[in-house]
Amino acid sequence: MEETQPTGAVLSYSYDKAGNKTSATVTHQGKTETTTYLYDALNRLSKVIDPQGGETLYAYDAVGNRESVTQANGQTTAYIYDALNRLTRQTTADAANNVIADYRYTLHSTGRREQIEELHNGRVSTYTYDALYRLTHDTISDPVNGDYSAEYRFDKVGNRTYSIIDGVHIAYSYDDNDRLTQQGGVTYAYDANGNTLTETEDGLVTARYTYSAKNKLLAVTKAGETTSFGYNPDGIRTRKAGSGSTTDFIVDQNRDYAQVLQEDVNGAKQVSYVYGDDLLSQARAGDVSYYVYDGQGSVRSLTNQTGVQTDNYHYDAFGILLHSEGDTPNSYLYTGEQYDASLDQYYLRARYYDQNQGRFTQMDAWEGESYRPTTLNKYIYADNDPISKLDPTGRYSVSLSGMGTAFNVSGVINTIGISAILAYEYDSNSTIDNSIFSDLEVISAHASVKSKADAKANQLSLEVQKAISATSESEGWHAHHTVPVYTCGAVEQSPNMVPLKSSFHRALHGSLRLYAEFLDKSYGAEFESNRSIFDHTSKKNRSGLQKVASTSVGRAYIANHLDIFYSFGWYAGNKYFKQRFESERNLFISTSYRNSLPSCQR
């Protein structure tokens, strides 16, 4: 697969028989850089070889949790989990086993983090929540950089109405559309689409924003300086211009979330990035820096090629940078996302996040879900629970409780060639012919057609709500069990059912059988005993399936392959699919009751 970007950069990818991405190559201005990926027998990322030949190694525990990551400069991060596969400790040490960072997490019974101890520097963060699990207190005891405290109050729909931050009292006001109109002495104005237009303080406009017809931020003017932005047809930011320079972003969209591989400033390469499951390193003018994360995925340190710390970062719960040391240029900070200094905001793909407000500056196009009232607010970030949730898409939050747990295959998903889809015309009324459609690319083609239809169909919110609660076909809709009952998923999966048009629901299960055939053809007899996990038309080895599903390791194996299958395009276009599967998957793996054992049928 090959893609040419507007800068002239060519991105090319190669894959193995299982659909894992084995290499990613950037060819630009006469230079070629290749990153190579290797996998274990369960298709989990095991090694990344960067363009300089450095190796990053991944290891997993018995139930599939990421156990350790050893980076090219010798530093190793080790992970410890509780009985429910929730992260309780994360330690990074250099090649000589000197501790760089050591985080210990105390969890509430719901999985929310109540306290984080940073054993390497004495910093302790304590969190309290209200009855709706919204963060109300963020208290930091820091013997090095000084203490910090923040208290938040919210209205019934999740808007922050009052805060006390290090003794400073701030009141917030909103209009009837939940748009922030005043924060302390700053007032805000909006356009008809809910985008922030101006910020005004003491009668003076301090910031002015302009947008495209598709609500993409085109320019911001602050202190007399204007910065402009450009996007590709998919709405991903690819250019930034201001202060006499133009930065072009070479973006890899062949991942779960689009990521920048290289930045060119005024036509010259400025920095390149290497990714595994996460951003591993950046290279600037021959100097390589390696990223050190905490359990939230925020960048807390940079180290050099010998493992020596050069930079450190400390944040509050919503991402305000409280302290930093070091002067290495770096744009990736809170939750590992791209910080834009010209905006003093984070670019989260669909929208920009203002950590000083704890909310987005643009209205969410997603209508939310009635059973999760906080999602109905178009502006709040991470359901006001930023310690336990992230929002990498800028559309909806995802829980940290399932990240890094058993067979969480984010690395596998990131390396699958989802965008390598054939332009195949699918007749939803026809019967899928296994003898013809026995190819992964055709499976992807079916999913592609489905996702385009879902993107339109999901606008019918009334029909969607009917489908969510449906137990049988209703007005052309089906409610899909994200962990199918014939794979030993629970019969009752509320509220994690996914609405699908009936024709695409049938196509999905047909394609799932094709995926089973693909596994069988690719791996032979070793997968024969597992084919019935996906092929519910056969009773063969049903007892084998029941045996597999009887343990958390086995259920993780099943969920792992379901996640890989869905990543061929079934997630795309349906705003409910991925988050509901992840929620159901975690219950399926970690509990003994969320399944249909022993029969694995209705």
Question: Could you write out the DSSP letters of every residue in 338-388?
Answer: EEETTTTEEEETTEEEETTTTEESS--SS--BTTBGGGGSSSBSGGG-TTT
169 and 252 co-located in one domain? yes
With residue 399 as reference, give the H or E element that holds it: strand 398-399
333 and 473 co-located in one domain? no
In a domain, 403, yes or no: no
379 and 427 co-located in one domain? no
In a domain, 20, yes or no: no
In a domain, 15, yes or no: no
Amino acid at position 575, single letter: K
In a domain, 134, yes or no: yes
303 and 351 co-located in one domain? yes
Nearest to 535 by CA among 486, 595, 570: 486
434 and 371 co-located in one domain? no
Beta strand spans in 266-320 (E)? 268-275, 279-284, 287-293, 299-303, 309-315
How far apart CA 476 and CA 463 sit, in angstroms, is 9
Q: Which residue among 375, 390, 405 closes a domain?
A: 390
Q: Are 36 and 17 in contact (CB under 8 A)?
A: no
The residues pairing with 93 across neighbouring beta strands, listed in sequence order, are 76, 99
**How many structural domains is the chain composed of?**
2
Residue 531 has what pLDDT?
Answer: 46
pTM for the full predicted model: 0.72
Encoding tokens for residue 515? 């995926």
200 and 280 co-located in one domain? yes
Residue 457 three-state SS: helix
Residue 213 has what pLDDT?
Answer: 96
Domain that holds residue 541: 421-590
366 and 465 co-located in one domain? no
How far apart CA 264 and CA 86 sit, in angstroms, is 39
369 and 513 co-located in one domain? no
Residue 25 has what pLDDT?
Answer: 97
C-alpha 215, offset from chain centre:
22
Residue 486 three-state SS: helix
Residue 588 three-state SS: helix
373 and 431 co-located in one domain? no
Alpha-carbon Rg for the chain in angstroms:
24
323 and 432 co-located in one domain? no
Sheet of strand 351-354, all strands in order from the earlier edge strand to the far edge: 338-340, 345-348, 351-354, 359-360
Intervals of the chain under pLDDT 50: 402-474, 522-532
C-alpha 345, offset from chain centre:
18
Residue 539 has what pLDDT?
Answer: 56
Q: Where are the alpha helices (DSSP H) in 484-541?
A: 502-523
378 and 440 co-located in one domain? no
Q: Which residue among 390, 410, 445 closes a domain?
A: 390
Q: Which residue among 390, 410, 444 closes a domain?
A: 390
- Between CA 111 and CA 118, with CA 117 as vertex, the angle to 5 degrees is 130
380 and 481 co-located in one domain? no
In a domain, 34, yes or no: no
- Between CA 399 and CA 243, with CA 282 as vertex, the angle to 5 degrees is 95
In a domain, 550, yes or no: yes
Nearest to 92 by CA among 339, 322, 294: 294
